[in-house]
């Protein structure tokens, strides 16, 4: 269900961007989502298609790129991937179910994940935010925007 | 491009926003926020958002500790207490502790606002200090009304001046209310001020000006209502109702 909120956020942001930039038709939105949020791509696309109607996004396609974040432990310097903490992610998901905390808020990662080497919560997550990484428009070809 | 920030801004737009804040911890912001929101909700829909994402006291005050928010197509659904709607990170993380670096705190606060199904006017129970939470609030809702909470203690007043300097003198806020919590108690109809009196003339002389100053009493009975603060109807509530919102 949370995918509908994400779709809402994306649509409102792009509509505002289009207004500010006098764009009349958006053809594609490239959305980056962190893998460990486990957002359902099909539901996200369905929500996007339902909510975009009668807007500048009416004919826009949603392209989703799953970002594999890199975790860096500030305590011991160890770099690791979400695969290295898969057991920890599985534990959190089994405790909470579908709407588990990192699904709703990927930025909560340091609260639920520990460095697999030293056990510290003092970790930095690269590529943890949901970002609009590019917007394609009809009038002027491609407009790239980076978060 | 940050879709969460955009959505949070739009969700707050057009609502009256109260920010219960203090540079000092332990002055009673959460209890004041809860009762203030309850009083407001007697007349209109109100959403209380607990921005203190580390202590998450509001859910404990209302008896929602350990309970999770439902999530619908409209987003995170608040806990309902009549016309009061409560949003707390505890409804996302349950009884787990939250330990986050600074940047993540801002992101979690923005997510909490942007993904919630807000109803009516909004009261923010802010964490103590002048950190990310204050900057997030200003980014999302610069038109908020500050309710600055202190106790009469000299150290509390001194610390709270940092916040007042920032929001009054730097940001030019003219609608600041000063809430002096634990200001006195009634002892056989005699007013006792265990933490002393605030020298309001001195504050005025130093250039601070307030839209309103309200002294809130100590009511030891409040402890009996932790976990069911919605049932409280004692003198703190009466004071807020009569002196603050009339």
- Mark whether A35 and A103 lie in a shared domain: no
Which tokens sit at A50?
């339902």
Report the pLDDT averaged over residues B23-33: 93
* pLDDT for residue A114 is more than 60: yes
Q: Is A22 annotated as a binding residue?
A: no
- Mark whether A38 and A3 lie in a shared domain: yes
Q: Is B6 in CB contact (< 8 Å) with chain A?
A: yes
* pLDDT for residue A146 is more than 50: no
Model pLDDT, residue B132: 84
- Mark whether A36 and A87 lie in a shared domain: no
* pLDDT for residue A147 is more than 70: no
Backbone angles phi, psi at B148, to 5 degrees: -90, 120
- Mark whether A102 and A53 lie in a shared domain: no
**Residue-level length of chain B:** 246
Sequential DSSP letters for A86-123: HHHHHHHHHHH-TT-HHHH-GGGHHHH---TTT--S-E
Q: Which domain holds residue A56?
A: 1-68+127-146
Going by C-beta distance under 8 Å and a sequence separation of 6 or more, which residues neighbour residue B159?
Answer: B23, B24
Report the pLDDT averaged over residues B93-116: 89
Q: Are B217 and B235 in contact (CB under 8 A)?
A: yes
- Mark whether A78 and A42 lie in a shared domain: no
Q: Which of A9, A121, A125 sits opposite B99 (nearest CB)?
A: A121
- Cross-chain Cβ contact B1/A13 below 8 Å: yes
- Mark whether A100 and A136 lie in a shared domain: no
Highest mean pLDDT out of A14-18, B32-36, B129-133, B171-175 = B32-36
**What does the pLDDT look like over B112-121, one tens digit per residue?**
999 999 999 9
- Mark whether A41 and A6 lie in a shared domain: yes
Q: Is A103 annotated as a binding residue?
A: no
User: Interface pTM (ipTM) of the complex?
Assistant: 0.88
Q: Is A121 annotated as a binding residue?
A: no
- Mark whether A56 and A112 lie in a shared domain: no
Enter the pTM of the model: 0.93
Strands B46-50 and B145-150: unpaired
Cα of B6 to nearest chain A Cα, Å: 6
CB-based burial label for A19 (10 Å; 0-12, 13-18, 19+): exposed
- Mark whether A14 and A49 lie in a shared domain: yes
Backbone angles phi, psi at A2, to 5 degrees: -60, -25
Dihedral Cα A20, B75, B106, A122, nearest 10 deg = -130
- Mark whether A63 and A9 lie in a shared domain: yes
- Mark whether A8 and A62 lie in a shared domain: yes
Backbone angles phi, psi at A71, to 5 degrees: -100, 135
> What's the domain count of chain A?
2
- Mark whether A5 and A56 lie in a shared domain: yes
Q: Among B22-26, B116-120, B145-149, which stretch is predicted with the lowest mean pLDDT?
A: B22-26
Average pLDDT, chain B: 93
CATH number for the domain including A41? 3.30.2320.50
């Amino acid at each position: 269900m949370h995918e509908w909120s994400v779709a809402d956020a994306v649509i409102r942001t792009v509509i505002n961007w289009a207004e500010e930039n006098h764009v009349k038709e958006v053809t594609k939105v490239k959305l980056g989502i962190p893998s460990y949020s486990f957002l359902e791509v099909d539901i996200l696309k369905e929500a996007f298609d339902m909510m975009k109607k009668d807007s500048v996004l009416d004919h826009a396609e949603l392209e989703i790129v799953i970002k594999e974040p890199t975790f860096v432990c500030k305590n011991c310097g160890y770099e690791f991937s979400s695969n290295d903490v898969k057991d920890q992610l599985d534990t959190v998901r089994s405790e909470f179910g579908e709407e588990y905390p990192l699904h709703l808020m990927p930025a909560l990662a340091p609260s639920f994940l520990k460095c697999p080497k030293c056990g510290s919560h003092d970790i930095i997550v690269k590529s943890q935010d949901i970002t609009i990484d590019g917007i394609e428009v009809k009038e002027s070809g491609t407009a790239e925007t980076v978060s | 491009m940050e879709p969460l920030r955009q959505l949070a801004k739009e969700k707050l737009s057009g609502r009256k926003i109260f920010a219960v804040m203090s540079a000092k911890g332990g002055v009673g912001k959460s209890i004041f926020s809860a009762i203030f929101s309850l009083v407001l909700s007697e007349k209109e829909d109100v959403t209380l958002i607990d921005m203190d994402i580390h202590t998450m006291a509001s859910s404990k005050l209302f008896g929602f500790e350990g309970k999770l928010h439902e999530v619908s197509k409209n987003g995170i659904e608040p806990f309902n207490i009549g016309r009061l709607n409560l949003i707390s990170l505890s409804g996302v993380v349950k009884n787990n502790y939250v330990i986050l670096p600074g940047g993540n705190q801002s992101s979690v606060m923005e997510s909490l606002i942007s993904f919630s199904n807000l109803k009516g006017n909004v009261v923010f129970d802010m964490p103590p200090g002048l950190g990310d939470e204050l900057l997030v609030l200003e980014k999302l809702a610069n038109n908020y009304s500050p309710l600055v909470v202190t106790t009469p203690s000299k150290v509390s007043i001194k610390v709270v001046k940092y916040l007042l300097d920032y929001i009054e003198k730097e940001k030019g806020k003219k609608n600041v209310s000063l809430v002096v919590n634990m200001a006195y108690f009634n002892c056989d109809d005699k007013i006792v001020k265990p933490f002393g009196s605030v020298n309001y003339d001195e504050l005025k002389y130093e250039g601070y000006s307030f839209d309103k100053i309200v002294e809130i009493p100590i009511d030891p009975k409040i402890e009996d209502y932790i976990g069911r603060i919605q049932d409280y109807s004692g003198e703190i509530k009466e004071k807020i109702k009569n002196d603050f919102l009339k």
